């Protein structure tokens, strides 16, 4: 009888040593999409083993950023609360002979690497510490020397896995250094606690950047040493700037700056969801639809280019379809649904709504008109005063003016728009004029 298929469990594992940047956000989003596409779970793991650099305010910021994006985890773990789990696994690996004590200083290791490189050899750790006897260890302990610990790689066979994006992967463990997993002060490095957590948390799929490929080769053996089946791995191309180069700005561009620039979470999700895939960015798709269509097979190996100009274009397309209920708390006081629907096609960012609300409520500054145009506008004021403003005042006004003056096209519409809004362009006047209202419209036309 076949074993039941495990539900998909993904995780996002940031270190709370700074703000999330756009590359982190993309990783979180893709893990969320992968889990939701399969009806699985998306977990948040705060990698805060580095007590000296981790900050509570960054933990809070990570949660807030994910919430703003709509990426709500199905569970959360803090590595700082899991040290007992790591200690138990550590003891088992020591007993199994997969961890060993080393004493070389960083300066000694650096010198050895330089010597090997000078000989044209790969800078691989020579496992010299394995030759130490228990008496040697006792002597070092008596001298006050504390060891750091390395994971002993198995050299008997290549390390292989089928990557969800990169395909078949193979590494020769003989060409890899046994990684340090624990420092002399007892603190942990990244790779072993991460593997232990993935086992304990039931993570089935690890989706991360291609800069982790060599880490994965090591961790595959760690999972085996822990008696666990490795998760499925996929490594996506890293983000680059629009010019195709790695950008320092991408390393600092975070949610706070994007929000300050007027970017809506729906726009960021729409763009980042498709970056690195062969699928076009589609602003009409919500998070649910993006999850339903998420497919690792659509990802390529080419760098994923993040273009802020494209982000603002997507943002405008998103804003043009946002319902009033979604934006009401962001709009100027007194601005209702009719005004929002009138002006949103002219917005690139919600914050611009205040400018158009000012056009509606006044005052506005019209251009200087010549005598002929002023006369035309005074005729318009007289006709507007006689209109039924409960019907369609803009249509009634323009049809009456056309009949009275013979004007049509731009010569008819442009002076009216300029006098009523102080602008040469803008929202549909059929929607705008009722919002301006009869008395204010008459005042503006008469002032012309």
Tokens of 277: 């895939």
3-state secondary structure of 183: coil
Alpha-helical (H) ranges within 235-278 are 255-260, 265-274
Find out whether 361 and 443 touch, Cβ atoms under 8 Å. Answer: no
Residue that finishes a domain, picked among 138, 165, 182: 182
Find out whether 424 and 403 touch, Cβ atoms under 8 Å. Answer: no
Contacts of 385 (CB under 8 A, 6+ apart): 438, 442
Q: Helices 429-436 & 393-405, crossing angle to 10 degrees? A: 110
Find out whether 50 and 66 touch, Cβ atoms under 8 Å. Answer: no
Are 376 and 442 part of one and the same domain?
yes
CA distance linking residue 283 with residue 266, whole number of Å: 8
CA distance linking residue 310 with residue 250, whole number of Å: 15
What's residue 3's pLDDT?
A: 58
- Within a domain: 298: no
Largest Cα separation within the chain, whole Å, is: 110
- Within a domain: 436: yes
Are 334 and 384 part of one and the same domain?
no
Tokens of 114: 């330089």
Are 378 and 403 part of one and the same domain?
yes
Residue that finishes a domain, picked among 361, 388, 408: 361
Alpha-helical (H) ranges within 14-70 are 22-37, 56-69
What's residue 245's pLDDT?
A: 60
User: Which domain range does residue 126 map to?
Assistant: 85-157+174-182
Are 442 and 409 part of one and the same domain?
yes
- Within a domain: 335: yes
Are 103 and 141 part of one and the same domain?
yes
pTM confidence score: 0.90
390-445, pLDDT tens digit by residue? Answer: 989 999 999 999 999 999 999 999 999 999 999 999 999 999 999 999 999 999 99
CA distance linking residue 191 with residue 153, whole number of Å: 13
Are 350 and 384 part of one and the same domain?
no
Phi, psi dihedrals of residue 196, rounded to the nearest 5°: -60, -45
Are 341 and 415 part of one and the same domain?
no
- Within a domain: 108: yes
Phi, psi dihedrals of residue 103, rounded to the nearest 5°: -130, 0
CATH number for the domain including 136?
A: 3.90.800.10
Find out whether 241 and 249 touch, Cβ atoms under 8 Å. Answer: yes
Are 389 and 418 part of one and the same domain?
yes
Region class of 244: left (phi > 0), else alpha (psi between -120 and 50), else beta:
left
Are 377 and 442 part of one and the same domain?
yes
Instruction: Give long-range contacts, CB 8 A cutoff, 24+ apart: 59-64.
Output: 59/16, 61/19, 61/20, 62/14, 62/16, 62/20, 64/255
3-state secondary structure of 38: coil
Tokens of 70: 């709509």
- Within a domain: 409: yes
Which of these, 273, 288, 159, lies nearest to 217 by C-alpha position? 159
Are 353 and 380 part of one and the same domain?
no
* Chain CA centroid to CA 269, Å: 7
How distant, in Å, are the alpha carbons of 137, 158, 180 from that of 109? 19, 26, 12
Are 351 and 421 part of one and the same domain?
no
113-142, pLDDT tens digit by residue? Answer: 999 999 999 999 999 999 999 999 999 999
CA distance linking residue 40 with residue 52, whole number of Å: 34
- Within a domain: 163: no
What's residue 96's pLDDT?
A: 98
- Within a domain: 260: no
DSSP state of 301: S
CATH number for the domain including 438?
A: 1.10.10.350
> How many other C-beta atoms lie within 10 A of the C-beta of residue 248?
9
Are 376 and 353 part of one and the same domain?
no
Return averaged pLDDT per consecutive 10 residues of the chain, 448 residues in all: 76 95 95 97 96 92 96 97 98 98 94 93 94 97 97 97 97 97 96 98 97 96 98 95 66 86 96 93 92 94 91 96 96 96 96 96 94 94 93 94 94 96 95 95 91
Q: How many domains does the chain have?
A: 3
CA distance linking residue 274 with residue 296, whole number of Å: 11
- Give the number of residues written for the chain: 448
Residue that finishes a domain, picked among 304, 336, 361: 361
- Within a domain: 75: no
């Amino acid at each position: 009888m076949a074993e039941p298929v495990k539900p998909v469990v993904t995780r996002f594992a940031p270190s709370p040593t700074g703000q999330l940047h756009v590359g982190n956000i993309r990783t979180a989003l893709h893990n969320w999409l992968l889990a939701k596409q399969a009806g699985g779970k998306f977990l948040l793991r705060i990698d805060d083993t580095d007590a000296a650099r981790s900050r509570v305010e960054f933990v809070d910021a990570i949660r807030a950023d994910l919430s703003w994006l709509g990426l709500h985890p199905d569970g959360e773990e803090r590595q700082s609360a899991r040290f007992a789990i790591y200690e138990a696994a550590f003891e088992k690996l020591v007993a199994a002979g997969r961890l060993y004590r080393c004493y070389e200083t960083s300066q000694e290791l650096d010198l050895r690497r330089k010597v090997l490189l000078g000989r044209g050899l790969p800078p691989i750790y020579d496992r010299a510490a394995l030759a130490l006897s228990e008496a040697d260890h006792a002597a070092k302990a008596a001298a006050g020397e504390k060891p750091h610990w390395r994971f002993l790689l198995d050299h008997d066979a290549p390390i292989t896995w089928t990557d969800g994006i990169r395909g078949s992967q193979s590494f020769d463990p003989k060409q890899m250094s046994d990684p340090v997993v624990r420092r002399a002060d007892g603190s942990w490095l990244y790779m072993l606690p991460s593997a232990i957590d993935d086992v304990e948390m039931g993570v089935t799929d690890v989706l991360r950047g291609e800069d982790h490929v060599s880490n994965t080769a090591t961790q595959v053996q760690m999972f085996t040493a822990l008696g666990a089946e490795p998760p499925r791995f996929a490594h996506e191309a890293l983000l680059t700037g629009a010019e195709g180069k790695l950008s320092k700005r991408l390393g600092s561009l975070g949610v706070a700056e994007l929000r300050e620039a007027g970017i809506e979470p729906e726009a960021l999700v729409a763009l980042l969801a498709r970056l690195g895939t062969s699928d076009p960015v589609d602003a009409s798709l919500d998070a649910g639809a993006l999850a339903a269509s998420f497919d690792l097979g659509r990802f390529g190996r080419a760098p994923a280019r993040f273009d802020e100009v494209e982000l603002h274009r997507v943002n405008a397309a998103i804003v043009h379809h946002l319902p009033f209920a979604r934006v009401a708390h962001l709009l100027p006081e007194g601005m209702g649904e009719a005004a929002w629907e009138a002006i949103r096609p002219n917005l690139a960012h919600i914050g611009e709504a205040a400018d158009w609300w000012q056009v509606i409520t006044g005052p506005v500054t019209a251009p200087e008109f010549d005598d002929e145009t002023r006369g035309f506008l005074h005729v318009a004021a007289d006709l507007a005063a006689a209109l039924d403003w409960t019907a369609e005042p803009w249509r009634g006004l323009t049809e009456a003016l056309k009949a009275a003056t013979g004007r049509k096209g731009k010569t008819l519409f442009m002076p009216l728009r300029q006098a009523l809004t102080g602008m040469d362009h803008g929202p549909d006047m059929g929607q705008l004029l009722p919002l301006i209202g009869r008395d204010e419209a008459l005042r503006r036309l008469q002032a012309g």
